[in-house]
Chain A
């Protein structure tokens, strides 16, 4: 399993853009990068997945440089309800290693 490193916590304010960078130096050729969001007492929610370059959906963007050794999740114009733990995972099968994630706190 590729090891990932992401900040323990980040603070932001409503309306700002939040960027969370995840480092995965030993990513394998067939690994995908996936981000999940988790609120207290709920299961993780799939946010976005990518292999290379940029992926965008209705809630986030994922930027992956050419060497794929890192990735950045971008949350545009966050609101209080975006306060959660965000996990970066790298895998090519079902064996997901969630780690501690990044606790994002959005303040009014």
Chain B
């Protein structure tokens, strides 16, 4: 139990579908993150939120849309994805975004695009 819960754990969707990934942290942290981990590739930082404000958008295609309604919840809305978007999507949280604060990760959502 990491204190960061992601749902669903697995998701299969067609390229024309719309779905959302959910992340909830129970650690009282103020920063939340979305990462993408493709097979045989390092983790890629996608989005960063600090106190519910987006502070980083790492050139992510607009078919990925994040939402942070409060400091405990983070969503990633997906629409018209491509096959290359199949990957493990990881959510993380940290106390703050500075001073190399350790990040606590969920176990991810395994996304498969048909």
- Contacts from A to B (Cβ < 8 Å): 30-32, 34, 41-46, 49, 91-100
What 16 additional pairs, Cβ within 8 angstroms, besides A49-B102, A95-B56, A99-B42? A41-B108, A42-B107, A42-B108, A43-B2, A43-B90, A44-B43, A44-B90, A44-B103, A46-B103, A92-B99, A93-B97, A93-B99, A93-B100, A94-B33, A94-B45, A97-B42
Complex: A20 Cα to B15 Cα, angstroms:
42
Given contacts A43-B2, A43-B90, A43-B92, contact A94 B105 (CB under 8 A): no
Sort chain B's interface into a size bin: 20 to 34
B88→A41 contact, CB < 8 A: yes
Bound-state Cα–Cα, A43 to B2, Å: 9
| Residues of the B chain whose Cβ atoms lie less than 8 Å from the Cβ of A46 | 102-104
- Whether A98 lies near B103 (C-beta < 8 A) is no
B48 contacts A by Cβ under 8 Å: yes
Cα-based distance from A49 to B105 in the complex (angstroms): 16
- Give min CB distance, B72 to chain A, whole Å: 17
- Determine which residue in B48, B97, B103 has the highest number of CB atoms from chain A within 10 A of its CB, and name it: B103
Q: Given contacts A96-B45, A98-B43, are A43 and B97 in contact (CB under 8 A)?
A: no
Residue B106, interface by CB 8 Å: yes
Q: Indicate whether B22 reaches chain A with its CB closer than 8 angstroms.
A: no
Whether A45 pairs with B105 at a CB distance below 8 angstroms is yes
B31 interfacial contact with A, CB 8 Å: yes
Say yes or no: A94 contacts B48, CB within 8 Å: yes
Contact between chains at A94 and B107 (CB < 8 Å): no
